[in-house]
């Protein structure tokens, strides 16, 4: 399948972003090569897992995004020992008939007052932290270490943080930013502007629902429709190959191929995969 003919628009969470391409009308060429491993769970659900050649990439020191994030935010109560890129949100929404369950990195959230320890205790008090589980639940929780800390942050309070130099601010693509906000359902972006030497002079706030984003909203619609059709094509192709098939989406030179890979472990433990066998919801994709 030809990427340039199938999908346009760069998207938020990397797995969606790598499964999409810029609108040919924008004059940009296709993105670089990538690989996304794919697996069928139950009769309808498709699981995506990004494959990375390297787990870590050294910074070239040319950006100040991490420094701006540290300076413009503070650790949430219960996360004082946290690290950047250490918190992720999981959301679910309907993309024109396809249920998307998406995990993405959360930069920060907006709050007028840090919750007190009493508030945190009240929020956690209904949780049953005992060991009285049995059957499947017991087996599932033996696989992971679940720690209940912090508190639930309402989606409308989330904020994306980025930085740009004064010279490169003019090259900031609002359409790309809109897609990152939209696909993660993040209502606001804080764009820190610095002088090129890491001294920040202003913060530009961009809201997803603002008039400023109305033009970007219109521009991304054709790409979102193509993204939806592509996801449906991928789902049909994976279902056709059946349970147990180990597949990968490979994009090179603007061409997207669905290829079989060598057998290996499943993305999820068997006890969790069994939960999908009685699935009645169709068109469900986990990214």
pTM of the model: 0.71
* 2: number of Cβ within 10 Å: 11
Q: Is residue 75 part of a domain?
A: yes
Cβ(36)–Cβ(48) below 8 Å = yes
What local confidence, expressed as pLDDT, does residue 42 receive?
A: 86
Tokens of 118: 């009493």
Q: Is residue 129 part of a domain?
A: no
- pLDDT tens digit at each of 287 positions of the chain: 333 222 222 233 454 544 444 344 444 555 568 899 999 988 888 999 988 776 555 555 556 887 888 888 877 766 666 555 567 888 898 988 889 998 888 888 887 655 555 555 554 454 444 444 444 455 555 666 777 776 778 889 999 998 888 877 666 778 888 988 998 899 999 988 888 888 888 888 999 999 999 999 999 999 899 989 999 999 999 999 988 888 999 988 878 889 998 888 888 888 888 888 765 556 666 66
Q: Is residue 171 part of a domain?
A: yes
CA 279 centroid distance within chain: 24
Q: Scanning the structure block, which residue is given the tokens 């020191």? A: 61
Domain count, the chain: 1
Task: Supply the range of the domain harboring residue 185.
Answer: 3-54+62-112+134-286
DSSP 125-145: TTS--SS---HHHHHHHTTS-
Q: Is residue 273 part of a domain?
A: yes
Q: Is residue 128 part of a domain?
A: no
Q: Is residue 121 part of a domain?
A: no
Q: Is residue 118 part of a domain?
A: no
Q: Is residue 124 part of a domain?
A: no
């Amino acid at each position: 399948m030809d990427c340039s003919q199938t999908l346009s628009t760069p998207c938020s969470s990397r797995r969606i972003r790598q499964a999409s391409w810029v609108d040919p009308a924008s004059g940009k060429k296709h993105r670089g090569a990538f690989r996304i491993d794919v697996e069928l769970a139950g009769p309808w659900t498709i699981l995506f897992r990004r494959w990375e050649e390297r787990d870590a990439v050294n910074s070239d020191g040319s950006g100040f995004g991490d420094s701006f994030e540290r300076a413009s935010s503070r650790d949430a109560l219960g996360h004082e020992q946290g690290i950047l890129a250490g918190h992720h949100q999981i959301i679910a929404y309907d993309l024109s008939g396809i249920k998307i369950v998406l995990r993405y990195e959360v930069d920060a959230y907006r709050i007028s007052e840090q919750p007190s320890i009493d508030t945190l205790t009240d929020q956690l008090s209904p949780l049953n932290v005992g060991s009285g589980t049995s059957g499947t639940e017991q087996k599932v929780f033996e696989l992971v270490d679940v720690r209940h800390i912090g508190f639930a942050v309402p989606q409308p309070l989330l904020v994306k943080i980025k930085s740009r130099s004064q010279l490169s601010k003019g090259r900031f693509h609002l359409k790309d930013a809109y897609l990152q906000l939209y696909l993660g359902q993040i209502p606001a972006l804080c764009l820190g502007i610095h002088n090129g030497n890491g001294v920040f002079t202003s913060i530009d706030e961009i809201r997803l629902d603002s008039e400023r984003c109305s033009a970007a909203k219109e521009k991304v619609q054709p790409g979102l429709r193509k993204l939806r059709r592509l996801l449906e094509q991928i789902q049909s192709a994976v279902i056709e190959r059946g349970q147990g098939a180990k597949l990968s989406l490979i994009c090179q030179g603007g061409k997207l191929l669905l290829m079989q890979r060598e057998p290996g472990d499943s993305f999820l433990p068997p006890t969790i995969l069994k939960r999908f066998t009685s699935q009645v919801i169709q068109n469900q994709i986990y990214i």
